[in-house]
Amino acid sequence: MIKPHGADALTPLFVYDTEKHHALIKEAETLPSLLLNSAAAANAVMLGAGYFTPLKGYMNLADALSVAEKLHTADGLFWPVPIVNLTKEAGITAGSRIALRDPNVEGNPVLAIMDVTAVETVSDDQIQFMAKEIFGTVDPKHPGVAVFTKLGNTLLSGPIQVLSFSYFQADFPDTFRTAVEIRNEIQERGWKTIVAFQTRNPMHRAHEELCRMAQERLKADGIVIHMLLGKLKEGDIPAPVRDACIRKMAELYFPPNTVLISGYGFDMLYAGPREAVLHAIFRQNMGATHFILGRDHAGVGDYYGPFDAQTIFAEKVPAGSLLIELFLADNTAFSKKLGRVVMMREAPDHTPDDFINLSGTKVRQMLGQGMAPPPEFSRPEVAKILMEYYQSIDG
């Protein structure tokens, strides 16, 4: 099986030992508390689940700046996005042990315990520098920039012990899976070549066919459709609706036991190329051998070129940094000439009129009016779920 990133085995920071877990929960009630922001809480969940192997906790300022600028920590570990605990709270001192509380669950239960090794002040210039490197812009209208630049100027670093997976297990019991669980399931199924597909949206026909193409061309044993379950920008489709759409599509249109549908507990960064590299790392950690990388991966608006998330791997990812291989996809659309979804670069004899292409805005308008997009664009069973959702919010 493929090795995790930078380690021989996964290093999940969740405390699985029951006795130790109970003791830490009890200890947490005696410790000073910090209410996390959602970004730091999502980082804790990913650290707990093993997706961020081999990290042991939150990065310090030197590592965060190095990762932002050079895509590696101060000691040389390849990593594309700072994993930080930025806060506005004061009064926490280096050397203290604190309970990290969950901002996304009622009552703010303990999410993790942190041994604070350093407390550092991050200047506004450093925040802006990191934002520019991570997101490629400091435009406050960019949803990732808007969140990152308002987290706070106090950086807490140090190892953590994770005691909860936040709301993800309770809200998505059939979908949320840790990297440990996905590796175990891949092993149980006997899969050797595994394709991972990232999504924060319901899958239309082009996405479905992209998975099928990758599976056929790579002779893969299975596909892991791995959806983001955390916070999104306004207007994105909520995870339960997305989950229902993807499950219906897989159930009806893929052979049994070829698709593993799962999700992970992280907030979307909308960081385009940098987030694509992070996605590749934690797909390697969950056991995938190949990762589908298509058009405008993890993008938003017009902040990134359509294939910037592919070129970063050639330009900024040193050879040998990752073991996972990429399946690079072009624009995909339904060809009226051929009667199937194709990659546009593989149909040089086509004109734009030979493809069925609908904008996201047009599709949303149709769904909101109770009109199903053409079956060449969206499976009718999936469109039905989406129509019900859009009519419920428009009504």
Q: What is the pLDDT of residues 275-315, one digit of tens each?
A: 999 999 999 999 999 999 988 899 999 999 999 999 999 99
Burial of 345 (0-12, 13-18, 19+ CB in 10 A): exposed
- Active centre residues (catalytic): 200-201
Q: Which fold has domain 174-394?
A: Rossmann fold (3.40.50)
Question: To the nearest whole percent, how much of the chain has pLDDT over 70?
Answer: 98
Q: Report CA-CA distances (Å) from 337 to 180, 355, 374.
A: 45, 8, 16
CATH superfamily of 18-169: Sulfate adenylyltransferase (3.10.400.10)
59 Cβ partners below 8 Å, 6+ apart?
Answer: 67, 73, 82, 83, 84, 157
Q: What is the pLDDT of residues 223-270, one digit of tens each?
A: 999 999 999 888 788 889 999 999 999 999 999 999 999 999 999 999
Reply yes or no on whether the pLDDT at 39 is more than 70: yes
Which pLDDT score, from 0 to 100, does residue 395 have?
57
Top-confidence residue, 245 or 363: 245
Which pLDDT score, from 0 to 100, does residue 333 have?
83
Can you tell me the distance from the alpha carbon of 364 to that of 16, in angstroms, rounded to the nearest whole number? Answer: 43
CA 227 to chain CA centroid, nearest Å: 7
Which pLDDT score, from 0 to 100, does residue 346 have?
87
CA 122 to chain CA centroid, nearest Å: 26
Which pLDDT score, from 0 to 100, does residue 360 have?
67
Specify the range with the lowest mean pLDDT, choosing from 26-30, 136-140, 200-204.
200-204
Contacts by 125-130 with C-beta closer than 8 Å and gap 24+? 126/61, 126/65, 127/153, 129/65, 129/68, 129/69, 130/64, 130/65, 130/68, 130/82
Which pLDDT score, from 0 to 100, does residue 26 have?
98
H or E element that contains 34: strand 33-35
Q: Can you give the residue ranges of every domain in the chain?
A: 18-169, 174-394
Mean pLDDT across the chain: 94
CA 118 to chain CA centroid, nearest Å: 28
Q: What DSSP letter does each residue of 341-358 carry, written as one string?
A: EEEGGG-TT--GGGEE--
CB 365 within 8 A of CB 358: no
Q: Would the pTM count as exceeding 0.85?
A: yes
Which pLDDT score, from 0 to 100, does residue 268 have?
94
Domains 18-169 and 174-394 equal at CATH topology level: no
